[in-house]
Amino acid sequence: MLTQLAQPVDAVFCCLGTTRSQAGNAEAFRHVDYQLVVETALTGQRLGAQHCLVVSAIGANSKSLFLYNRTKGQMEQALRAQNWPRLTLVRPSMLFGSRAEPRLLERLSQPLFGLLPGKWKGVAAKDVAQTLLTQAFSPGSGVKILESDQLHCSHRL
């Protein structure tokens, strides 16, 4: 979609993500959570964007034994290697909010994630969106990582 734009852009927002279960296999999961995110950022950069804002995940770590966390960590590394003037990575814990398809386990565990302390506490998807917008219109440079406990709209960023 970005490749169809003729005018330059100021910022790129990328909130792509799936689960291995939804994707069907590890390769398809990695295509969405790594390849598409990195390609979207590169396209935005070619169109003149100076700020890339991306939803990653709590526990993102390129050396993780877990596919999800490892893929998110590798995606973050790839974005850093693109040398953005400004890169904002948000790492939410469990996201609360309505979804197109029901996820029973997530729904049952939401009360628990709402009680957890600090960065492990779940966060509303609308708070993540508000944080991204706030960051896009705030001055700054370099890489900024915001953990889940910094994504609640009641907190100052």
Tokens describing residue 130? 């508000």
pLDDT in tens, 139-157: 999 999 999 888 866 444 4
pLDDT tens digits along 54-113: 999 999 999 999 999 999 999 999 999 999 999 999 999 888 766 566 555 555 555 555
Show the domains of the chain with their CATH numbers: 9-150 (3.40.50.720)
pTM (two decimals): 0.84
| H helices present in the chain, as ranges | 20-23, 26-30, 37-46, 67-81, 104-115, 125-136
